[in-house]
Structure 1
Amino acid sequence: MATCIECNAEFDVDDAREAVNTEYDGDIDYDETTEGELCGDCSISRFDSEINVGRAIDMMNGDEDYDDEKYL
């Protein structure tokens, strides 16, 4: 069992990998980005945050439209 560096919970790396693959349909490689240091929940939280930062940058640059209904 591994210990998550964010929440200190013990977790199975295979379960975390499966959770990330399920959440993102295989678009994000758990092993490449977390190196087995984050549980599934913390990985997904971090990836969602990074995706939102990227989208915010795209919106500021005019590359993506701001969706008023999505961001209330």
Structure 2
Amino acid sequence: MATCNECKTEFDVDEAREAVNAEYAGDIDYDEEMEGEVCGDCSISRFDSDINLGRAIQMMNGDEDYDEDHVEKYL
């Protein structure tokens, strides 16, 4: 068992990998991004945050339809 660097709980790396795979349909590689150091729940939370930040930046740059509420929440 590994210990999550964020929430400090013990977790199974295979289960974390499977959770991330299920959530993002294989679009995000848990092993490349987390290297077995973060549990599935914390990984998904971090990925969601990063995705929302990226979308807010794209909205500010005019690359995606602007949503003021989204930008204020995530930027």
TM-score > 0.5, shorter chain as reference: yes
* Aligned Cα root-mean-square deviation (Å): 1.6
Higher helix share: 2
Unaligned runs of 5+ in 2: 71-75
Q: TM-score, normalised by structure 2?
A: 0.88
Per-residue deviation, residues 33-68 of structure 1 (Å, max 9, x unmatched): 000000000000000000011001000000000247
The residue identity in structure 1 corresponding to 2:16 is A
Counterpart-to-counterpart distance in 1, 2:27 and 2:35: 16
Per-residue deviation, residues 2-50 of structure 1 (Å, max 9, x unmatched): 0000000000000000000000000000000000000000000000000
The equivalent of 2:29 in structure 1 is 29
The residue identity in structure 2 corresponding to 1:8 is K
| % same residue | 79
The equivalent of 1:43 in structure 2 is 43
Unaligned runs of 5+ in 1: none
1:1-72, aligned counterparts within 5 Å? 1-67=1-67, 71=70
- When the two structures are aligned, how many residues end up with a matched partner? 71
Counterpart-to-counterpart distance in 1, 2:67 and 2:23: 22
Moved over 3 A (4+): none
